[in-house]
Structure 1
Amino acid sequence: MGDADIRWNQRQQCFSPAPAWQAFDYNAPPESGLYWVAGTRPVWDVCASDYGRPVGVHAGEHEQFVALVWFQIWTDDDGSLVLDFAAVDPYNLGKFADEDTVSHFMPHAIPAHPAVATPTKELI
């Protein structure tokens, strides 16, 4: 490993690492909170019917997605566990729909203030 590689590794250690993706288990979900979620969703072909109404047909394909969601868990009246995913900002931070399947999650972490992350530099 050269000097440039060593300096690069030292610079990277100054920043706290981002939380890692974890596999999402619907039977043992994480606590309620703010999470990044990743998964797949079905692709739909949509056209207009003879009466002008939208008609959707599953295309048999799936696409990947990432979204920032508020995740909540509660017990329904019948005793079943309800998992609710609500997109925080669907236009900028990813959408979430009922037919989406979550495969991974990552806790949302607030980054350090620039003055803390780079204490030797002045803020402009």
Structure 2
Amino acid sequence: MADDDVTQDIAAEVVTLFGAINRRYAAEAQAAAAPHGLTAMQAKALLAARTPVPMRRIADMLHAEPSNVTPVVDRLVEHGLLERRPNPADRRGKLVAATDAGLTVIADLRARMPFASEPLANLTPAERVVLRDLLRRAVD
């Protein structure tokens, strides 16, 4: 097998592994969200608002536009899991934060999502650093 073929095979396997990680995370998130009557996207938004954050931060964490996240947050507010607060650093902006009920659901979600909570659990701290550094190089 030529070096180019090996390189392409390795790249394909890495992409496949990224896909497997993503699918496992998504399945775990959906399974954890369902008992609370939430979608996986709502669960991810709730987890992102564990501490008060601007809506933009939630959108960034969900890889979505803020306008697409607004209905997700609205639904969580309706469920009493999130609340909007004034942003002391920006009088025009609002922060989104979990309520006490939201924090209870977050604790349950995290308990039901062991892989998503710690996807690198099987790696040593040194391996995690190497993986991070390699992924940064690949993205750059």
> Could you say whether these structures have the same fold, taking a TM-score greater than 0.5 normalized by the shorter chain as the test?
no
Higher strand share: 1
Q: RCO higher in 1 or 2 (8 Å CA, sep ≥ 6)?
A: 1
With normalisation by structure 2, the TM-score equals 0.28
With normalisation by structure 1, the TM-score equals 0.30
Higher helix share: 2
